[in-house]
């Protein structure tokens, strides 16, 4: 596993990131849409850390994930140079989609809580069943509540 992919610990995926110059506004406060970007970054790295990168899914099954729904509860701002972690867990799978609950924190302080629904689609954008190998790989993340 690559260190930049984060790590799986106690049924959650943990991805540390640093707030860089392009993330905040002129006051040094992270612009709220960037929490979605952080969430997407963690959502890309989580499958890699469990051995099922998106590229494998696309190459072997001709499938990709698309965001169907996302919600972010912003609680307190992150700032320039903050070191934050994105914690992803409580994955719930359906036939063609999965929900990922996330938490963005600075130390123990909760900054934002993204909730993302991904749908598995084929090249024509038609929803398709989640592949069994992906569901099996997600097992360590299915039952742990992170909030």
**DSSP string across 45-86:** HHHHHTT--HHHHHHHH-EEEEEEEEEEEE-S--BTT-EEEE
Residue 94 near residue 87 (C-beta atoms within 8 A): no
Can you give the pTM of this predicted structure? 0.84
Q: For position 105, what pLDDT does the model report?
A: 97
The stretch 114-129 carries a mean pLDDT of 92
The structural domains of the chain, ordered by start, are: 3-141 (3.10.129.10)
Q: For position 1, what pLDDT does the model report?
A: 45
Q: What is the DSSP letter of 19?
A: -
Cα dihedral 67/142/135/41 (nearest 10): 40
pLDDT tens-digit readout, 1-37: 455 778 888 888 999 999 999 999 988 899 989 999 9
Strands, E assignment, the chain: 7-9, 12-18, 63-74, 83-93, 97-106, 109-122
Separation between Cα atoms, residue 35 and residue 37, nearest integer Å: 5
pLDDT tens-digit readout, 30-72: 998 999 999 999 988 887 777 766 555 666 678 888 899 999 9
């Amino acid at each position: 596993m690559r260190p930049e992919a984060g790590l799986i610990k106690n049924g959650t995926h943990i991805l540390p990131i640093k707030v860089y110059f392009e993330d905040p506004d002129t006051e040094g406060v992270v612009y709220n849409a960037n929490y979605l970007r952080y969430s997407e970054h963690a959502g890309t790295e989580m499958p890699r850390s469990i051995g099922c990168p998106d590229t494998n899914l696309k190459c072997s099954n001709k499938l990709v994930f698309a965001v169907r729904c996302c919600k972010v509860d912003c609680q307190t701002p992150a700032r320039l140079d903050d070191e934050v972690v994105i914690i992803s867990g409580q994955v719930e799978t359906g036939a063609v989609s999965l929900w990922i609950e996330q938490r963005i924190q600075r130390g123990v302080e909760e900054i934002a809580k993204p909730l993302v629904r991904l749908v598995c689609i084929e090249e024509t954008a038609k929803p398709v069943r989640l592949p069994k190998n992906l569901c099996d790989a997600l097992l360590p993340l299915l039952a742990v509540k992170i909030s």
